[in-house]
């Protein structure tokens, strides 16, 4: 170990060719060729917009969970409210607030950044920012839910009970697992690890400042 912080660092490479080889309904597949250690390397990956998720907590340290069907894994998963950053120019915090209203008919007054993670950095460029939302109330929104969202179930569950379910391998959604484990650890530290809700998202591959 060195004296520098333990952190992921940006590493620009010279991309010599880039093409979209599959144009999907939601995500595309891109093929890049780049120079690395003096040799050309070609990689294909899913090109993703990124996403946000919301860990909403009430005054009793209960977490808001939603359950919906996820076809690739054939499961009705318990998850955190979440959504894609697919509105051009939309601020991630605004997207998170919108998703909480659209999926759970809730709004929150207090927002902080809890965690960020890359879902599968060897195969896609998807990154997710998880917010903690508190001081929650009903939004009385009138959102028409369709497809997999049409039969969403909502539950408030004690944070410790959700952590137990993750550790027992009964829940596998990554945003949920990372979110509740991070919240559990942050709470033990007096929530000192939380960051302001509007901090720049420099580790998002599409928002990263130019070198």
Residues 70 and 122 in one domain: yes
User: Which residues belong to the active site?
Assistant: 149
Q: What is the band of 1 on the pLDDT scale with cuts at 50, 70, 90?
A: low
Q: What is the band of 111 on the pLDDT scale with cuts at 50, 70, 90?
A: very high
Residues 179 and 93 in one domain: yes
Q: What is the mean pLDDT of the chain?
A: 91
Residues 93 and 159 in one domain: yes
Mean pLDDT of 131-139: 94
Mean pLDDT of 147-173: 90
Residues 79 and 33 in one domain: no
Q: What is the band of 143 on the pLDDT scale with cuts at 50, 70, 90?
A: low
Residues 82 and 135 in one domain: yes
Whether 202 maps to a domain, the answer reads: no
Whether 210 maps to a domain, the answer reads: no
Higher pLDDT pick, 141 / 91: 91
Whether 26 maps to a domain, the answer reads: yes
Higher pLDDT pick, 89 / 40: 40
Residues 40 and 61 in one domain: no
Residues 92 and 136 in one domain: yes
Which of 94, 33, 57, 17 has the alpha carbon at shortest distance from 191? 57
pTM of the model: 0.92
56: domain CATH number is: 3.90.79.10
Q: What percent of the chain has pLDDT over 90?
A: 70
Residues 99 and 159 in one domain: yes
Whether 201 maps to a domain, the answer reads: no
Q: Residue 18's pLDDT is what?
A: 95
Distance CA 44, CA 206 (A): 17
Cβ 126 vs Cβ 118: under 8 Å = yes
Whether 7 maps to a domain, the answer reads: no
Distance CA 45, CA 85 (A): 18
Which residue in this structure is represented by tokens 């340290």? 61
Whether 148 maps to a domain, the answer reads: yes
Distance CA 163, CA 198 (A): 27
Question: Given a cut of 80, is residue 144 above it in pLDDT?
Answer: no
Residue 204, number of CB atoms within 10 A of its CB: 19
Q: Domain range holding 36? A: 14-47
Among 65-79, 113-127, 195-209, whose mean pLDDT is lowest? 195-209
Whether 9 maps to a domain, the answer reads: no
Residues 80 and 105 in one domain: yes
Residues 74 and 170 in one domain: yes
Q: What percent of the chain has pLDDT over 70?
A: 93
Residues 34 and 79 in one domain: no
Number of domains in the chain: 2
Mean pLDDT of 86-114: 93
Residues 144 and 103 in one domain: yes
């Amino acid at each position: 170990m060195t004296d520098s912080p333990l952190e992921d660092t940006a590493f620009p490479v010279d991309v010599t060719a880039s093409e979209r080889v599959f144009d999907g309904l939601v995500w595309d597949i891109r093929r890049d060729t780049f120079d690395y250690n003096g040799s050309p390397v070609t990689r294909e990956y899913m090109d993703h917009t990124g996403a946000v998720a919301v860990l909403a907590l009430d005054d009793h340290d209960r977490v808001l969970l939603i359950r919906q069907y996820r076809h690739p894994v054939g499961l009705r998963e318990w998850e955190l409210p979440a959504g894609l950053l697919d509105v051009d120019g939309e601020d991630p915090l605004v997207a998170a607030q919108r998703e909480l209203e659209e999926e759970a008919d809730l709004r929150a007054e207090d927002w902080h950044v809890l965690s960020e993670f890359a879902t599968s950095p060897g195969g896609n460029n998807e990154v997710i920012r998880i917010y903690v939302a508190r001081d929650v109330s009903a939004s009385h929104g009138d959102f028409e839910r369709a497809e997999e969202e049409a039969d969403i179930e909502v539950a408030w569950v004690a944070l410790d009970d959700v952590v137990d379910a993750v550790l027992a391998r009964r829940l596998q959604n990554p945003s949920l697992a990372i979110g509740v484990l991070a919240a559990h650890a942050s709470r033990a530290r007096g929530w000192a690890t939380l960051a302001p809700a509007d901090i720049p998202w420099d580790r998002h591959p599409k928002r990263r400042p130019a070198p």
